[in-house]
């Protein structure tokens, strides 16, 4: 683990949800392909959809149908995607391999962990409930619970406030540049996850995270050093 991460007392660990803590891409990809099929549009391979899922429903619709939709078409496709996703929100979604061990380690060492996501609460809540994470998380802050979601640091400040800690005592872990930017602006140590949903054009080294991990196992090994 980077000396920057190890230095000082770590009082809490915060995760981005999609692509940082939970692998939600299979269910989001399935939802997009269902909508594409409904409208006789070509379905897309999982490898094409996966890097885009962090961009939410609007990003998925743009990927599948292009950027020339009317407002009505955009809203119709988005509504259909979300309705299907709500019904199948945890068919395949699960914690990335090894991250339950990381959460158990934090819990056993009385280090609270929480979630700061741009995902809206009406989707976040059911997903975490089905994965039995709701009662384990010390705080859950969603994008529609703040005025300015990530990359603005407001949601991370709110999480730290709910945990009763100073931002510089915490780590924020995410797989998007907006995650790392929000964490840095809030004053947290940051870990960027190369295993998450990252498009080929993104250069994770330019995000200025304190640490970059390639795999969930690498993240687990880093978090196991926290006591």
CA-based torsion, 110, 184, 173, 153: positive or negative: positive
Alpha-carbon distance values, 154 to 118, 170, 187 (Å): 11, 15, 12
CB within 8 Å of 226: residues ≥ 6 apart: 10, 13, 105, 106, 109, 111
Residue 181: closest CA among 213, 148, 225: 148
Residue 133: closest CA among 103, 170, 155: 103
Alpha-carbon distance 169 to 8, whole Å? 7
Instruction: Find tokens 């409208």 and name the residue.
Output: 39
- The residues carrying an active-site annotation are 16, 18
CA-based torsion, 184, 217, 19, 165: positive or negative: negative
């Amino acid at each position: 683990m980077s000396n920057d991460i190890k230095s000082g007392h770590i009082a809490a660990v915060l995760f981005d949800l999609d692509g940082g803590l939970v692998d939600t891409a299979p269910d989001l990809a399935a939802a997009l392909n269902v909508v594409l099929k409904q409208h006789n549009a070509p379905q897309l391979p999982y490898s094409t959809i996966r890097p885009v899922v962090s961009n939410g429903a609007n990003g998925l619709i743009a990927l599948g149908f292009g950027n020339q939709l009317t407002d009505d078409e955009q809203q119709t496709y988005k509504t259909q995607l979300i309705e299907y996703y709500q019904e199948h929100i945890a068919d395949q979604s699960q914690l990335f391999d090894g991250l339950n061990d990381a959460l158990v380690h934090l819990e056993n060492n009385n280090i609270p962990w929480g979630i700061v996501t741009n995902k809206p609460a009406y989707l976040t809540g059911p997903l975490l409930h089905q994965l039995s994470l709701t009662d384990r998380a010390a705080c859950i802050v969603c994008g529609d619970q703040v005025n300015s979601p990530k990359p603005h640091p407001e949601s991370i400040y709110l999480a730290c406030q709910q945990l009763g800690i100073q931002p510089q005592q915490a780590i924020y872990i995410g797989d998007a540049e907006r995650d790392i930017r929000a964490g840095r602006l809030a004053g947290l140590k940051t870990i960027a996850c190369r295993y998450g949903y990252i498009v080929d054009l993104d250069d994770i080294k330019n995000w200025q995270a304190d640490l970059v991990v390639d795999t969930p196992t690498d993240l687990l090994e880093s978090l196991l050093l926290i006591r």
